[in-house]
Amino acid sequence: MNIEMLHLEQGPIRPPSESRSLLLRLTRNCPWNQCLFCPVYKDRKFSRRPVAEILQDIQAARDMVDDIQALSRRLGSGGAVDNRVVSHIAGNSKYGRSYRSIAVWLYYGTSACFLQDADNLVLPTDDLVTALTFLKEKFPEITRITTYARSRSVARKSPDALARIRTAGLNRVHMGLETGCDPLLKFMKKGTTSAIHVEAGQKLIDAGMEVSEYVMPGLGGQGMWREHAIETARTLNQINPHFIRLRSLQIPERTALHQKRLSGDFVMQHDDQVVEEIRLFIEMLDGITSMVASDHIMNLLENVSGKLPEDKPAMLEAIDAYQRLSDTERLIYRVGRRGSAFRSVDDFLTDTQTRQKLTSMIEKIQTSEGLDGVERFISNMTETYL
Ligand code: SF4
């Protein structure tokens, strides 16, 4: 066997928190694929990978890990995957992409595995259990196995099925909740309801899994932002997930929502309005103990994060600090944030050098193109992340 040529099939995305996890693909693309705001799996057909193929990938990953550890011993690193081993692999063209990504996974030592793609709970329970059992058998060192799932697919599983899946090794599920507002879920063609979100979240928790719910600030647009904030908080208050993750709306041209925006059926909020919406949302979270994370590059304020309920005042203060800035300061902050210079208002206040550079850059744009020119500049920078 030519080990360097072994290959693992991989899907296009994983959550930011899984950037250092082993990626293993169980299904291809999304079985729903209709959400108006979603650009990810457009024009790609959903399929379940045959179990035999998944097991083959797991075995290939194991073979690569064994080979990398043997290489480490030959190089004098005693089996550890350190800079020397990673540099050796990166500098040698005989090693393929999968081999390199496994080396990086070992280097970070996260002991975590993320199962791709969009909804693995749509798989028959027996298939999922077979794959998880084989994965745990081949990788007893893996301590965290996570996946994306749609709430409708989870809600369809019986408590017994979810308990079997948990026992086989799945310990965290990332759910794209987006909103708890039913009219908005319908408008966005999310194919689920607030009640189904609640049922799914509660079932996963009852089965002993961690639940990570993604919320999309901005999704209500100017027409439904208030209901979006209130109903989403109300839904999450019934679930009490382990994690609430914010991932603000952006609208790439290839989405159906872009067409709605062009036709005027959807009016996007300004950044400052989204901040106000997030403030209302955080205020309405009540009686839960979730961790709130704002770990997505699309979010304006990364430090709206912490553990509920104790960090709620600090999260609100992070928002208030932004709202206390003058119009000009907020503009500078937004340009800096979209250029990855700031993560919070604290960064903005302490980094005077960057602030000055941005101020003169904005003045130049404003002189030639006016305020609209600066807003265009911010949009263009944001689009580079899409
Ligand atoms: S369910 Fe998720 S992956 Fe599928 S279309 Fe909706 S947002 Fe995209």
pLDDT average, residue stretch 144-149: 97
pLDDT band at 6 (very low <50, low <70, confident <90, very high): confident
Give, to the nearest 10 degrees, the angle between helix 159-168 and helix 125-138. Answer: 20
Say what the pLDDT of residue 383 is. Answer: 77
Domain 150-324, CATH 3.20.20.70 — does that match? yes
Residue 241, ligand 1, Cβ within 6 A: no
Residue 40, ligand 1, Cβ within 6 A: yes
Counting from 1 in the atom list of ligand 1, the atom nearest the Cα of 118 is 3
Which residues have a Cβ under 8 Å from the Cβ of 173 and sit 6 or more positions away? 121, 146, 147, 148, 149, 154, 204, 209, 210, 211, 212
Nearest of 144, 166, 178 to residue 24 by alpha carbon = 144
Cis peptide before 309 (omega within 30 of 0): yes
Say what the pLDDT of residue 385 is. Answer: 67
Residue 11, ligand 1, Cβ within 6 A: no
pLDDT average, residue stretch 310-331: 97
Strand ranges inside 47-118, DSSP E? 47-48, 112-116
pTM over the 0.85 mark = yes
CA of 309 to the centre of ligand 1 (A): 30
Nearest of 32, 43, 31 to residue 255 by alpha carbon = 43
CA distances from 152 to 119, 192, 195 (A): 10, 6, 10
Say what the pLDDT of residue 17 is. Answer: 83
Q: How far is CA 283 from the centre of its chain?
A: 23
Say what the pLDDT of residue 39 is. Answer: 93
Say what the pLDDT of residue 297 is. Answer: 79
β-pair type (306-307, 291-293): antiparallel
CA of 251 to the centre of ligand 1 (A): 14
Residue 35, ligand 1, Cβ within 6 A: yes
**HSE (side-chain half, CA atoms, 13 Å) at 366:** 11
Residue 207, ligand 1, Cβ within 6 A: no
pLDDT average, residue stretch 365-383: 88
Least-confidence region, from 39-48, 123-132, 138-147: 39-48
- Write down the residue that tokens 């709970």 correspond to: 121
- Write out pLDDT tens, residues 241-262: 999 999 999 999 999 999 999 9
Say what the pLDDT of residue 261 is. Answer: 97
Q: Helix, strand, or coil here: 305?
A: coil
Question: H or E element: which one contains 203?
Answer: helix 194-206
CA of 147 to the centre of ligand 1 (A): 14
Nearest of 148, 214, 158 to residue 13 by alpha carbon = 148
Say what the pLDDT of residue 271 is. Answer: 95
pLDDT average, residue stretch 372-383: 87
pLDDT average, residue stretch 213-238: 98
Number of H helices, E strands in the chain: 15, 10
Residue 30, ligand 1, Cβ within 6 A: yes
CA of 298 to the centre of ligand 1 (A): 18
CA of 58 to the centre of ligand 1 (A): 26
pLDDT at 43 over 90: no
User: How many percent of the chain have pLDDT more than 70?
Assistant: 98
Least-confidence region, from 115-124, 189-198, 230-239, 367-376: 367-376
Say if residues 240 and 204 touch (Cβ distance below 8 Å): no
Terminal-residue alpha carbon distance, the chain: 39
Say what the pLDDT of residue 3 is. Answer: 67
Ligand 1, from 13, 30, 254: best to mutate by most atoms within 8 Å of Cβ? 30
Type of residue at 22: L
Say what the pLDDT of residue 235 is. Answer: 98
Counting from 1 in the atom list of ligand 1, the atom nearest the Cα of 150 is 1
For ligand 1, atom 5, name the residue with the nearest CA. 33
149 pairs with which residues across the strands? 175
Say if residues 221 and 230 touch (Cβ distance below 8 Å): no
Structure tokens at 145: 């196995």
For ligand 1, atom 8, name the residue with the nearest CA. 38
Least-confidence region, from 3-7, 158-162, 246-250: 3-7
Say what the pLDDT of residue 4 is. Answer: 63
